[in-house]
Amino acid sequence: MLSFEGQVAIVTGAGRGIGRATALALGKRGAKVVVNDYGGGFDTLTPGTSEVAQSVVDEIVAAGGEAVANGTAVGTGDSAQTIVDAATKAFGRVDILVNNAGGSRPFHNVDEDADENLEGVIRSNLLGSLMLMRRVWPIMRAQKYGRIVNTSSNTVLGQQGMLAYVAAKGGIIGISGSAAIEGRPLGILVNTVFPQAYTRSVEDTAEPGAMDWFKSHTPELVAEGVTYLCSRECDASGELFRIGGGRFSRYGIYGNKGIESADLTTEFVAERFDESRDMSDAEIVPDAAYDMARFNAALASDWQGDLKSDWRK
């Protein structure tokens, strides 16, 4: 069993579902855990109670681990500082941050629902993760060590009726990639996950015919994969992983060779549009620096740049 002895983890949204399973998995392996959960509704608006987080703390302690509860709702810089202060007050450091907290609204079309409701979804999913990363960063930088796992969603690939949620989860991929570039030289590794599990967030959204099958996708099957990404043994950073139902796989943004012309015209694109979309020679594009070098190499036959160089060095 991998050991997290001597390490302190903050897990947000840890009162139920994947967050709870992750907190328990880390606690079982020796990590001291700050179990954060405001205890409210998945709609980000329903008031909650810290008893939800405390119940998970009780489970960890009963199993011989150490943990403290925190009922602060994520979404602002002040709340992020409160959560981090709870960790340093209780345990003196922060080694691991799992940004799992989030929420969504009932399905609405693009022009429906109130602006303030959509803003609440973006706060809980995107700003909550961003602010917590910012608050743990100085601690991890001073330690020359840290592991951060941010929770996105495969809905960013396109999902009707969840505009604000999709926007927030897409932003998670961007901030994770940027932080990974800056963090690697500091010993801070940052990865992103697309989780899939049967939790309260999908109880009213999964197809009725698939519900029984989906129930086998337990939160624990996601948490075990997330826990590996939190470990000393994991050296990956800036990557995206799809985890659920016993499956663990890497996802990525790919780019193909494309088409080019010094005198690109609308008609040229129209004539060769199918060729421009051919992905048979595609490769993963890990970051913006690689993308820029790759793009410019295709345009300049005498390109002498190094496609492997980027800001992570």
Catalytic annotation, residues: 165
What is the per-residue burial (b if ≥16 Cβ within 10 Å, else e) of 56-80?
Answer: bbebbeeeebebbbbbbbbbeeebb
What is the Cα–Cα distance from 73 to 46, expressed in whole angstroms?
Answer: 11
List of residues 6+ apart from 232 with CB closer than 8 A: 2
The angle subtended at Cα 262 by Cα 296 and Cα 266, nearest 5°, is 110
Cross-strand bridge partners of residue 124: none
Q: Tokens for 301, please give them.
A: 């036959």
Is residue 292 within a helix (H) or strand (E), and if so which, with residue range?
Answer: helix 288-299
Cross-sheet strand order for the sheet of 32-36: 66-70, 32-36, 8-12, 96-99, 146-151, 188-196, 240-244, 247-251
| Of 130, 142, 225, 141, the residue nearest 184 (C-alpha) | 141
Q: Tokens standing for 33?
A: 């855990």
